[in-house]
Amino acid sequence: MQALRMGREAMTKQHVPLLAWLVAALYLTSAQAADWTHWRNVGDATLRFGPFSVYRSQLRTPDGRYSGLQQDQALIITYQRHIDSETLVDATREQWQALGILDREPQSEAWLHMLAQLWPSVDDGSQLAFVTSNRQGQFWYRPSSSQGQFMPLGPVQSAAFSACFLSIWLSPQTHYPELRQQLLGGER
């Protein structure tokens, strides 16, 4: 019985640093979420197909100015209809194909597979955000814009992934140049 108690004490002592690290990570994640949600708006745009709105997008930076993919930024997408996760991944594939990313980036297929595992289906009011800090990105999700805080979604993404993902909206070669102009603070 005493050996069991000693084993439990040793195990508990081993787990204290791990628990402290987890608490710190959760605290820092919440702090990061609070930081980018208060960044200044650069611009916003709505993607429409005919009379139907698909989503509203907003670009934010710490100072409200866009200076390129290297800076810290948040792209927030508020969906205005139901879209299943498979359709979201297929749309990403189509945009990367149009931008030449699938041909030149060897990891693109692995990234698409990761997105298929990561992204939820979205509904009217659901929000997905992609936030970069020091060129690395993090997805965030909020089931409804009326709900509380965003929740982190998946691991931190590499600088290469982050640049490719944001290129869908921010590259000069984007399929939607008018949306890009609006996101960068241009006229509607």
pLDDT digits (tens, 9 = 90+) for 136-161: 999 999 998 778 889 999 999 999 99
Residue 55, CB-side half-sphere exposure with 13 Å CA sphere: 19
Q: Which two tokens stand for residue 131?
A: 């936030």
**Residues 62/65/71/77 CA torsion (nearest 10 deg):** 80
Q: Which two tokens stand for residue 106?
A: 């060897």
Distance CA 155, CA 178 (A): 31
Distance CA 153, CA 142 (A): 10
pLDDT digits (tens, 9 = 90+) for 55-101: 999 999 999 999 998 899 999 999 999 999 999 999 999 999 999 99
- Predicted pLDDT at 111: 98
pLDDT digits (tens, 9 = 90+) for 36-46: 999 999 999 99
CA 122 to chain centre: 14
The pTM is what?
0.81
- Predicted pLDDT at 147: 80
Classify residue 83 by its DSSP letter: B
Supply φ then ψ for residue 187, to 5 degrees: -70, 155
